[in-house]
Amino acid sequence: MNTDHYDFIIIGSGAGGGTLTYRLASSGKRILLIERGPYVPREKENWSTRAVNVEARYNTKEEWHTADGHPLHPHTNYYVGGNTKFYGAALFRLRREDFGEIRHHGGVSPAWPISYDELEPYYTEAEKLYHVHGVRGEDPTEPWRSGEYPYLVISYEPRIQKLHDDLVRIGHQPFHTPLGVKLNERDPRRSPCIRCSTCDGHPCLINAKADAQTCAVDPALEYPNVTLMTDALVSRLETDASGRRVTKVHVERNGAKLELSADFVIAACGAINSAALLLRSANDRHPRGLANGSDVVGRHYMGHINSVMLAISREPNATSFQKTLSLNDYYFATPAWDFPMGHISFVGKTDGVTLSAGAPALVPGMTLEIMARHSLDFWLTSEDLPDADNRVTIDRNGGIVLAYKPNNEEGHRRLIAKLKGMLKDIDCTTIVPRHLFVGQRIPLAGVAHQNGTIRFGRDPQTSALEVHCRTHEVDNLYVVDGSFFPSSAAVNPALTIMANALRVGDHLLERVGATKAAMNLATEAAEPAGV
């Protein structure tokens, strides 16, 4: 047998690729997981707000460009586990309605080709795999679920409990954010997670965050048939003469060029890099880019409309782990407005160092410290709509060009106004956007929630992937990262990417004739510890 031939080659080890590798691992098939980055080094800087937020120590140094040629330094990370190493681990299911068509102020959010009900069993599995803590029945917009959350809800710290009580008093319905961390509040001495203030945006120094490396890639590597190749960039995919099969995966590693092959090739490089990979892989049969007869590859880029708002309260906010509360009262149309506004939750606790990154020079450090000590740091997300002109292209050298014009912004403006109105009634005197202080938060570079660039659908004219995320045009090529979203909804995307990867994994196992029952799947073995 050719030693460079595998049953599956998976490119990218993040939420999509890591989870898929995990799903396929126990099949006994030869699996190669290729990751362009190394492991995140374990070092004190993992938890340094200066290293992470001011010096951008872990961001890629790669330079992209905007449509008008300006350099763009993306806030994204190339490591084993992908962006989940840095995520805030707020692991939401999309709402049931998000899978249908929804009318927004700025246009229509299109329907998905699968329903919530089809993805529900996979959400349940993904929540187990990624240690999601939560409680059913609090979030007024939550979709039905076949069971309880696998892990007990994470408690509010006193300031957040007070905010919760204040919001309830003025008629709102805040709820506990579903979170993927290995926290055991009933047995803190044994709990892997210590509930620190440097979670969102930071890698976890003690590997207690439920990320794709620790929950999916590491367990998959326990199987002898799974191999991980780090520091290996997939530069291009080559097809046979018919254009129907990928026959070679071109890899650049430590200055060497490798050619590998597999029965099935799965791109999971993140929505921007997977689109770029297909575009770079154009050939005679696929002149506009691999699997791009529809011309949708790279288009419909979405990343949410996001704001971080600091509410400066009279009383100090001594919260350490702040991401525990969310509010979806304005997620859908309300009697007051006919359209959705979005989702409100929290980022990790801002400190003076983080604020100093972009603060005007005349603001003294002491003022920033005091502001940070009194701030509640809200994260607001609204849905952006798929616009064909918001797109990833590649330049002459194969570099990434990202064109994006925000749309559907009225709902987001109203959401900010709603938050301001709420907080006025409950003791928060001032509310300011954090980007006034944290200068590097340039909206376009904030590609954390990237999705939509290789959308799935039933019509090959308007989508690049069919419902199982196989490309319409290349029989052995799949995409399982955030690219497949036809609409972005307004909650965080990672759990949906993970659940979908499990779904696609089952389809692939069927294609190779491996059955779940025969494989003793590890997700079923991994019973929640009830923490």
Ligand X SMILES: Cc1cc2nc3c(=O)[nH]c(=O)nc-3n(C[C@H](O)[C@H](O)[C@H](O)COP(=O)(O)OP(=O)(O)OC[C@H]3O[C@@H](n4cnc5c(N)ncnc54)[C@H](O)[C@@H]3O)c2cc1C
Whether 90 contacts 177, CB under 8 Å: yes
Residues 1-20 that bind ligand X (CB under 6 A): 11-17
Instruction: Return the number of other C-beta atoms located less than 10 Å from residue 517's C-beta.
Output: 8
Half-sphere exposure of 389 (CA within 13 A, CB side): 4
Task: Name the nearest CA neighbour of 330 among 434, 431, 429, 422.
Answer: 422
Give the nearer residue to ligand SF4 in terms of CB position, either 76 or 322: 322
Does 84 engage in binding with ligand X (CB under 6 A)? yes
Residue whose pair of structure tokens reads 């929630």 in the numeric block: 449
- Give the residue, chosen from 73, 195, 285, 413, that forms a contact with ligand SF4 under the rule CB under 6 A: 195
Cβ contact 447:76 at 8 Å: yes
88 binds, among ligand SF4, ligand X, none (CB under 5 to 8 A by kind): ligand X
Element (H, E) at 264: strand 256-267
SS3 state at 352: helix
Query: Binding pattern to ligand SF4, positions 318-357, x when CB under 6 A?
Result: ---x------------------------------------
User: SS3 of 456, please?
Assistant: strand
If you search the block for the tokens 């989508």, which residue do you land on?
A: 463
- The reply on whether position 233 binds ligand X by CB under 6 A is yes
Choosing from 209, 286, 343, 418, the residue that interacts with ligand SF4 (CB under 6 A) is 209
The residues, ordered by sequence, that sit 6+ positions from 361 with a Cβ below 8 Å of its Cβ are none
Q: Which stretch binds ligand X (CB under 6 A): 28-36, 368-376, 428-436, 465-473?
A: 28-36
Query: Cα dist. 254→79, 231, 242, 269, 283 in Å?
Result: 16, 7, 32, 19, 26
Nearer to ligand SF4, 200 or 506 (CB): 200
From the list ligand SF4, ligand X, none, pick the one residue 196 interacts with, judged by a Cβ distance below 5 to 8 Å according to partner type.
Answer: ligand SF4
Instruction: Give the per-residue contact string, 455-494, with ligand X (x = CB under 6 A; - = no).
Output: --------------------------xx---------xxx
Choosing from 6, 52, 74, 82, the residue that interacts with ligand X (CB under 6 A) is 82
Q: Phi and psi for 92 in degrees, rounded to 5?
A: -95, 145
Smallest separation, CB 321 to ligand X (Å)? 13
- Beta partners for 490? none
Instruction: Identify which of residues 188 and 364 has a Cβ nearer to ligand SF4 in the complex.
Output: 188
- List the single partner that 204 binds among ligand SF4, ligand X, none, CB under 5 to 8 Å by kind: ligand SF4
How far is the C-alpha of 360 from the C-alpha of 129, rounded, in Å? 44
Q: Which residue, 82 or 457, has its beta carbon nearer to ligand X?
A: 82
Residues that bind ligand SF4 (CB under 6 A): 181, 193-196, 198-199, 204, 206, 208-209, 321
